Amino acid sequence: MIPETQYQIDGIVPNRIERPNSESDLQQILLAETPRQLVLAGNGSKLGMGNRPEKVDLLLSVARLNRVIEYVPDDLTVTVEAGMIFSDLQNLVAEQEQFVPLDPPYSRNATVGGIVATNSSGSLRHQYGATRDLVLGLRVFLADGTAIKSGGKVVKNVAGYDLNKLFVGSFGTLGVISQVCFKLYPKPETERTILLTFDSAKDAVAFGREIHATQLLPAFLNLSLNGLPTTEIVQPCLLVGIDGSAETVSWQIDQISQMTKHKTASLSTCSDEQGKNLRLAVRDFPVNPNRSSNRLVCRVNLRPSDLPNFIDTVLESVDVPPQIMALIGKGVIHLAFSHPNDHPTGLVDTIQNLRAQVVANRGNLVIELAPVEVKEQIDVWGKVGSTLGLMRQIKSELDPNYRLNPNRFVGQI
């Protein structure tokens, strides 16, 4: 049987696909496959991330492990299996006016396990923190079939080493996540989205940093350059999400409106429908659900204070500037280059130059999506530094045969 296209990795078709229906089935697969190499997946939405594998003996998908293990609304916690679609989880807890304050890209297709394994967070991290901050506990199967648990259902009952943060963002190289316990929050009474447009990128960045320096508490604060998805807006703009009680939201909108006086900025408060669409555009930028070969997507992590200079460098150093979506308060910048197949070598040189500047400012640049031609010329992760030795030691302890997602993570781990 020909495997589904969603499970192809940079053009490589897995020799076999397994979808266990239970944790017992998962454990048996791990025990039976020693020492073959396994690539882990949920629905395949993030398989374009990472180095290109030499081959895929077995692709192990947890997509059928999608049950609710425990939901205690009064405790604001929920435990689900890793294969549950994230939007299904949100719909479940929404019935009790609660939510997981994450907005990872394409959550209608992404699984809980994939989101946790890649630490995919989204713009709401501005107010609520990243995925690693919202995971209370995990159940993980190591490469030899051993099941371990980390964390718990409440923050204060966790003692000793914080193993949650070891597995969150490990890209499936240390174990197979089978269950996740999340911290929940009450849904905000009111949600409003403000759109501000500017004459220049410099003005937009400066105003975003001005908002961030105040005591206002936006749910997200995003800069968009070179086109705002789903709209015809091409000017530099800021999207500001204000959530909370009706009184607090109204006050914060008024404060931002007052700040725009004597500024070259245009402010509009979006209707409910427009605000919803813009939030979806922010959430899904810049990942392509089909992992299209004509895009190159980078994520840059810098100190927020270094963001303005880096954006200036990007706009000045490339002939066709990428689309840019930046989380002003977090120093996270997404760059989406179109049609990299046309000039792969020139684009690789551009990325190398940008990466050098980022590293010089003690940040990092990760290529999240790229054609094979680009991946063959550049390490998608970049250099790790002095921590690589420790990472290799941890990998050797938990997966001594290097069976799980081999060579796909940083340092070819």
Can you give the pLDDT at residue 231? Answer: 83
Nearest by Cα to 311 from 224, 220, 379:
224
Lowest-pLDDT range of 43-57, 320-334, 338-352: 338-352
Q: Which of 264, 210, 273, 269 is nearest to 236 (CA)?
A: 264
pLDDT of 194 above 60: yes
Choice among 29-38, 211-220, 290-299 with the minimum mean pLDDT: 290-299
Dump pLDDT digits (tens) for 104-154. 988 889 999 999 999 999 999 999 999 999 999 999 999 999 999 998 876
Residue 349: CB atoms within 10 Å: 13
b/e code 371-388 from CB counts within 10 Å (16+ = b): beebbeebbbbbebeeee
Q: Is the pLDDT of residue 342 over 70?
A: no
Write down the pLDDT at residue 199: 92
- pLDDT given at position 4: 58
Task: For residue 155, name the pLDDT band (cuts at 50, 70, 90).
Answer: low
Residue 36's pLDDT is 85
Arithmetic mean of pLDDT, 159-179:
90
pLDDT digits (tens, 9 = 90+) for 13-23: 999 999 999 99
Confidence of residue 2 (pLDDT cuts 50, 70, 90): very low
Higher-pLDDT residue of 290 and 319 is 319
pLDDT of residue 134: 96
Rounded mean pLDDT, 276-303 = 80
Position 1 scores a pLDDT of 40
Task: Return the exposure string of 257-273: e unless at least 16 CB atoms fall within 10 Å of the residue's CB, then b.
Answer: eebeeeeebebebbeee
Highest mean pLDDT among 163-167, 186-190, 223-227, 280-284: 186-190
Residues 355-379 have pLDDT tens digits of 999 999 999 999 999 989 899 999 9
Q: What percent of the chain has pLDDT over 70?
A: 94
Reported pTM = 0.92
Q: Would you place residue 293 in the very low, low, confident or very high pLDDT band (cuts 50, 70, 90)?
A: low
pLDDT, the chain, mean: 90
C-alpha angle with apex 13: 9 to 14, nearest 5 degrees?
A: 95
Predicted pLDDT at 112: 97
